[in-house]
Amino acid sequence: MTNQTKPIKSESEFSDNKEWKITKFDRTPIMSTYLVAYVVGEYDYVEIKDSNGVSMKVYTPVGKKEHGRFALDIASKVLPFYAEYFNIKYPIAKADQIAISDFDSAAMENWGLVTYHEMRLLIDPKFSSMETRQHVTIVVAHELAHQWFGNLVTMDWWTDLWLNEGFASWIEYLAVDKFYPEFDIWTQFVADTFARFLIHDALKSSHPIEVPIEHPAEIDGIFDAISYSKGSSVIRMLHDYIGDDAFRKGLHNYLTEYSYKNTVTVNLWSHLSQASNKPVNEVMSSWTLQMGYPLVTVIEEKQPNNTRILKLKQQRFIADGSVDNENLQWKIRITVFTKSNPNLIAKQILMDQPEITITLENVSENDWIKLNYHSIGLYRVKYQSTTLGNLKESIADKKLSSQDRLMTQDDVAALCNAGHQSFVDYLKLILSYQNEDNCTVWKSIGKR
């Protein structure tokens, strides 16, 4: 078997050696050279055409073709989803995937011929665990997202690597959630991606998402949790900030204008700003050009007539509890929701200064209130003991989403470790999880 980015155009034998043959491939579109792949070897394969007529094959080691059907099924769903989401057809004629036993990376998004380590692509239909199936689903969805975001439009230089990887690491979850809702994949995102970035970016040794790269030797160092985990969390936050319709419109215009070209991050911000009429570049620069993330401290002042006043203060959160001498500030989309309607944001505001005040009307004295709906904002929250104690009810009766239940205890644990909160508060809070039935939430608690 011989394969390349484009379909085979012709094959012929060598005139002087019948054991060899000449394979010619169709001409590729304009593309980055790092995305060209050639594979020669003995393989079995399974094949299908997706709903848009794109030819798809999964190549496996000889005798393992049935192990490729799961990935083929994923690809046949995800590729048309991306074409619809971006409103741009898949750019080339085929979408092949191949398992390589000694591949030294997890996967590589070569255009039309994605290469994988066997463990990232093949599923034994009898013995592979649910966790393994979920992992393969995520990896395949990630690599196919790159066929547009990275391949059709490629970043100008490695400084903007985070946007390639961060975007694919976000939209993979969007696709998987659509086709496999039973995976509860967004809770896993919060546990495995969002919480992971919070750990790494709280270190003094962290770095901004956008890192100037001056020498090729520096490139490998930025393929880290900041590029992937913080990058995808930033995109998730941005998507929520401007809304899905504006996000898709801006993406379509961006991908259309820069098809088969190189681009930079601010070009995407420009298109998303135009589509949403929101100051995307101004807001996002505080998240991409400086390291770290904020801790939002909530001081509550109760007023008569069911009025609650929240005084919010932001400062950089550092894992060892030390003070940020640079006095970094962020533009934070603050969301607040309450007991009276736990599935609706009661108040949202862009916090663009060190301290702000929020007033909530018609919220009784003993009703719980919580910041950061579905844990989408990139910040930790510190509550007073009374405000935190009120949240125990919403955790025990599962009025909070699994994402919010997970991050409530994760925030408090991190604050305790940094010396910002008492471990007594954490121990009291954790009692409200006695009847927790979400395994991902328990997995997070177990790490603490």
What is the bridge-based pairing of β-strands 38-40 and 2-4? antiparallel
CA dist., res. 230 & res. 233, Å (int): 5
3-class DSSP state for residue 201? helix
CA dist., res. 333 & res. 240, Å (int): 10
Give catalytic status of residue 143 as yes or no: yes
Token readout for 197 is: 């970035």
**Beta carbons within 8 Å of 444's beta carbon, 6+ residues apart:** 191, 195, 406, 409, 410
3-class DSSP state for residue 357? strand
Helix (H) or strand (E) holding 266: helix 265-276
3-class DSSP state for residue 190? helix
Look-up: residue for tokens 């969002």? Answer: 194
CA dist., res. 434 & res. 414, Å (int): 20
CA dist., res. 88 & res. 339, Å (int): 42
- Cα–Cα separations (whole angstroms), residue 296 to 143, 378, 384: 35, 10, 12
**Helix locations, 87-212, DSSP H:** 130-145, 161-179, 185-189, 195-201
Nearest to 308 by CA among 338, 283, 282: 338
Q: Give yes or no for a contact between 318 and 292, defined as CB atoms under 8 angstroms apart.
A: yes
Token readout for 243 is: 């809304």
Look-up: residue for tokens 């379909």? Answer: 7
Q: How many residues does the chain have?
A: 448
Token readout for 309 is: 């006043």
Q: Which of 143, 165, 172, 210 is labelled catalytic?
A: 143
φ and ψ of 332, to 5 deg:
-110, 125
- Encode 292-325: b = buried (16+ Cβ within 10 Å), e = exposed: bbbbbbbebeeeeeeebebebbbbbbbbeeeeee
What is the bridge-based pairing of β-strands 294-303 and 380-382? parallel
Beta bridge partners, 43, equal: 61
**Residues with catalytic function:** 143
